[in-house]
Structure 1
């Protein structure tokens, strides 16, 4: 199926500051893209892509039913994996140890704070979509949460842009840009149209999520953070349509494994080749779900492995901590004591024994405010990302 290709209009341009090259300083016109309206689009997939969509939906449903229902910590695990991978696409990469410190409230780098903010934004989006229809306000709130740690962008957080933006090219003007989104006065109407499309219930679920994501990225409604919010919209639609109830499909890991292919697929959508992007995202959902099943099995085996490694006494603080490590793989002294229900001294001794046995690792530099991590869980996060990356080779 083809959508109309994005239109283009020439608009006047007035450089805000006399900076950049001579071409930047003398630019007086720009070519902006005008995405088509999609609220009432009837999408019918060709037979081959319909088969891929069906297999993707089955893979997601199998992950949800097979592990989402019976392995409660998998939901948080996959949500964090998706948020971190989505951040890495934007070159925000703190590393799992730094991210763990941010998660536990420790001293954190700017990248770690940004990755944690992406978790909060994605959580807000999928939680809201699980309760009711998606709204523009949901996008604005997620954007506010995402941009909150950045002092320089806080002014624009949670607000639709009122300026022209562009992707690539010059820092000062859209000269040489890879893509110039629609002018700001068109953005509110385009977003309302997109939200109508996102709340329909008569479309193949994965296709709907794919088209909504590509349309969002074409609108580019914020001055920054569009990629992460647009990818969160995919998960929100899967949740609203109840294909997922507890888990988040780690689609961003597929995109991260080959960003050139991901951006090329978005560009193909702008030419009207909607089937191409739908096929790409459906295959991504299938591969990410299958890889996540392997990670779920690995996670389910960890408590027994920890017990064999640490050999805790029955009803001890050590045993209590091990039983909760999948739910809370990052701990500080307060959260650990809340789990053990024992004294400070008893909790610290348990943490020390689990550290000595290799179940936990201290990941903070501060002696006064220590943070512990179940490193096997962090290692599995990396293993999932690598496994998904290997499967990307199968996506045309």
Structure 2
């Protein structure tokens, strides 16, 4: 199989008449979600479960097996076998890259150098760290079953000598004004995946670009819109619609799939955000009543930001004394806000869990 020669951007064969309904529905759904986001006082804290879910699911598409709960447990001091630890580190790297990228875009725009920085963070101390983190590939890669040869590949990205010009064209397209920003985001993501410019981590970087580019195009007021839940559930359709571009030069099936994904995920995010916001207000009120503490709001924010933790986390986050932190945890346990998932013994401290938030984060409220 020979390396693919990518089409020039912008694509010339998009049939807007075939996707006009998808365009309208996706824009309307995303606007409703963004309107809700703008009413969230501190989305970085309140919606951190959704950020963690995105990191877990985007990494799961690439083969990791860790859950949201295991990531938080690990951060609270729980240990796992080496394979699980590596999975968790990949997820934490993705979350770190997403957080830093969001901060970066408040003052600048997406460029190739920025993409390389994200990749370096993503591949730090995990599988693939030997595959030139932060550097675009200079050798041929291909996509197919693990261990397959290039002749057996399902897709062979552009040859290394063609990659530099294709990436420059892709970067220039970021500043182009397509007829619709959501359609343009679909093209940006797909072309990045087709170019497959890194030796590893292309899928995760490509999915991370979706909320970042929507934010850059002002389709979102904050880059907190994640598609990996939908893409993970519809993985075969995701890859098949992407492949239609390289196999037939037809962008329309992919763009239609992408727009439907935005519509579905925006509605799902609205439901989840409302549940989290409602739980936050209810929890804050209860904590004020049962603790009578001047730190009630900070305490509520802390357990929403990290719903599995040791008492030291509260001591550092709230700046309170050790006895005060233990007393707060005891009161929250007595009122069924917190549960103990590991009792303290010897040098091992207790690990507490805010299970109501975990249920929402893991989608159990939707079952």
TM-score (norm 2): 0.87
Q: Who is 1:67 aligned against?
A: 37
Is 1:47 the counterpart of 2:25? The answer is no
Structure-to-structure mapping, 1:1-396, within 5 angstroms:
30-38=1-9, 40-41=10-11, 45-73=15-43, 74-104=46-76, 107=79, 109-150=85-126, 153-169=129-145, 171=147, 173-270=149-246, 271-306=248-283, 312-315=290-293, 320-322=298-300, 324-363=302-341, 367=345, 368-383=348-363
Give the 3 Å change call, closer, same or farther, for CA 247–236 of structure 1 in structure 2.
closer
State which drifts further: 100-109 or 79-88: 100-109
Query: Is 2:308–2:353's contact at 8 Å kept on the other side of the alignment?
Result: yes
Distance in 2 between the 1:380 and 1:333 partners? Answer: 23
Contact residue 75 and residue 247 of structure 1 kept, 8 A: no
Structure 2: distance between partners of 1:363 and 1:287:
34
Distance 1:45 1:131 in 2: 35
SS in 2 for 1:83: helix
Q: Following TM superposition, by how much is the alpha carbon of 1:332 offset from its aligned partner in structure 2, in angstroms?
A: 3.6
Q: Alpha-carbon deviation of 1:253?
A: 0.8
Could you tell me how far 1:322 is from its partner in structure 2? 2.9
Question: Following TM superposition, by how much is the alpha carbon of 1:143 offset from its aligned partner in structure 2, in angstroms?
Answer: 0.8
| Distance (Å, rounded) in 2 between the aligned partners of 1:319 and 1:221 | 45
What secondary structure is seen at the aligned counterpart in 2 of 1:372?
strand
Shifted more, 175-184 versus 279-288: the winner is 175-184
| 1:360 to partner: Cα distance | 2.3
- Tell me: CA distance 1:328–1:100, structure 2 relative to 1, closer, same or farther (3 Å): closer
| TM-score normalised to structure 1 length | 0.81
Partner SS state of residue 376, structure 1: helix
**Deviation of the 1:246 alpha carbon:** 2.1
Secondary structure of the 2:3 match is: strand
Structure 2 unmatched ranges of 5 or more:
none
Distance in 1 between residues matched to 2:65 and 2:124, nearest whole Å: 17
Residues 117 and 149, structure 1, Cα contact 8 Å, conserved in 2: no
Note closer, same or farther for the CA distance 1:241–1:94 as it changes in structure 2 (3 Å cut): same
Distance change in 2, residues 1:127/1:384 (3 Å): farther
Measured on the aligned residues, the alpha-carbon RMSD in Å equals: 2.7
- Indicate how the Cα distance of structure 1 residues 308 and 151 shifts in structure 2: closer, same or farther if over 3 A, else same: same
For 2:342 and 2:169, the matched residues in 1 are separated by 47
Q: Which has the higher contact order (CA 8 A, sep 6+)?
A: 2
Query: Which has the higher mean CA deviation after the structures are superposed, 222-231 or 163-172?
Result: 163-172
- Structure 2 residue matching 1:260: 3-state secondary structure: helix
SS at match of 2:2: strand
Moved more, 164-173 or 231-240: 164-173
Native 8 Å contact 2:315 2:322 kept in 1: yes
Does the aligned pair in 1 maintain the 2:178–2:184 contact within 8 Å? no
The 3-state SS of whatever aligns with 1:282 is helix
